[in-house]
A and B are shown apart, each in its own frame.
Chain A
Amino acid sequence: MIWTPLTAVMVILGVFGLALMLYTVPKAYKISKRVSKASLEERYGLEKEYYLLSTVVWVVLITRIVASVLFWVTNESLIPLVPGAMCQFGVNQAGAPYSWIDNGVKLIVLLVYGIWLSLDFLNRRVKGAPLMRALSRLFLLLAPILVLDLALDLGFYFTVSAVTVPCCRVVFTAESPIPCPYCFVFHDAPMFIVVIACYGLAISLVIWSFVIRYFMQKIPEMENIGMEAVRRLVTLALGFAVMGTVALIPAVMQVMGPAVPLH
């Protein structure tokens, strides 16, 4: 393991997340099992328990979303510490196989965790917490991804060491039809970070709005607050898509590079 302030933060976030998972998963299981058969009094108790669970899950998911952004920053900071690494490709080689799977997981965490967070946000605003059972079940469904996310982070940062690695120059040569994505986005055309982030957020917001619509059809009490949320999410999504499109102009200019000095 290479100990730097950033890798230490990633490990702490991983251990913290795993510890909270051990608390939340059994509680979510209990609520999902009992809530449908619960008496009014028992339901009130479960509701209180659910609010505590929901608060902890918010902490877990928000820290995982922060960790997913920090992941790229940490990997970038490790480049000078891994001999032979010229970009994040080399760092990933040093932390293989965990790193490669972790890269894929990190691309979807905001989208997946955001579904739960947006639904819970609405659930807290509707009387009687009608989504309590659905959200507990959804959290249990998310648990494998969350465990994978946490375990891969810990596996990766404990595996990565200062070993000499072959970097992207081995894979991406002059004949390669596609560029090294890490060199392309993080080093030579960094405006694409803004473009990808904006479009990623826009697509995530649209998908969250579709999920809210789905639950609005199932639970009529949610209709008013749900419609308002859908309208806001979609407007925000459109805003991010427009921002991404605007950022695409300087990004494309970065790719085009300085004019070739031909007569």
Chain B
Amino acid sequence: MKISPPKLVIILTALAVVITGVTYAYIRTQQSSIMIEQNVDVVEIEVNRRTAVLVSVTLRNNGPPLILEGANLVKIQSGITLASSKFSPPIILYTGNVTKIPISYQLDKEGADYFLQIFTNKGTAIRCTVSYP
């Protein structure tokens, strides 16, 4: 079967729309399927307002000890993960302790809302909203 070039253009365009839609739906599903850690409170989020850098997040663990493996930053308005990092070595959150987690993520200078997600070894995530400015 021979496909004419105009039909091929239309097929490729339709395919691109479908691929983009499916990719976006996939990342949204992935993000919403993350289990949220219930025993950790976010005490403080430190942002350097001069440079628009998310500097650190302070957490209090009210449950059993947790190992933090990494973090990522998702921009709420676009749904895209802008930055991701792995803690090396992993950070341990002991019961009842308040721990400052150093993070260095550049935020949009114009401003936006973000989800900062910190992943534990249990497969759960500590999630907090960061609004800048």
Instruction: Name A residues whose Cβ lies closer than 8 Å to a Cβ of B.
Output: 79-80, 85-87, 167-169, 172-174, 179-180, 183-184, 187-189, 192, 195, 199, 202-203, 206, 209-210, 234-235, 237-238, 241-242, 244-245, 248, 251-252, 254-263
Contact = CB atoms under 8 A, between A and B. Distances in A.
Given A85-B110, A263-B121, A256 B23 contact: yes
A151 to B, nearest CB: 29
Interface stretch (B40-48, B56-64, B66-74, B96-104): B66-74
B92 interface: no
Given A180-B78, A184-B80, A234-B5, A262 B123 contact: yes
A260 B24 contact: no
Contacts of A237: 5-6, 9
Chain B interface main SS type = mixed
Contacts of B84: 257-261
Given A86-B110, A244-B16, A202 B9 contact: yes
Interface residues of B, number: 43
Interface string B99-118: 00000000011111101000
A172 B81 CA distance: 16
Interface in B1-46: 5-6, 8-10, 12-13, 15-16, 19-20, 23-24, 27, 30
3 shortest A-B CB distances, which residue pairs? Answer: A261-B70, A257-B81, A258-B84
Contacts of A248: 16, 19-20
Contacts, number: 134
A245 B78 contact: no
A238 B86 contact: no
A76 B120 CA distance: 38
Contacts of A263: 69, 121, 123
Given A188-B80, A241-B13, A255-B80, 5 more contacts: A80-B110, A87-B77, A184-B77, A184-B79, A261-B72
19 contacts: A86-B77, A169-B112, A183-B78, A188-B82, A189-B80, A203-B9, A206-B10, A237-B6, A237-B9, A244-B16, A245-B16, A248-B16, A252-B20, A255-B23, A255-B27, A258-B81, A258-B84, A260-B81, A261-B71
Contact of A252 (B19, B76, B77, B112): B19
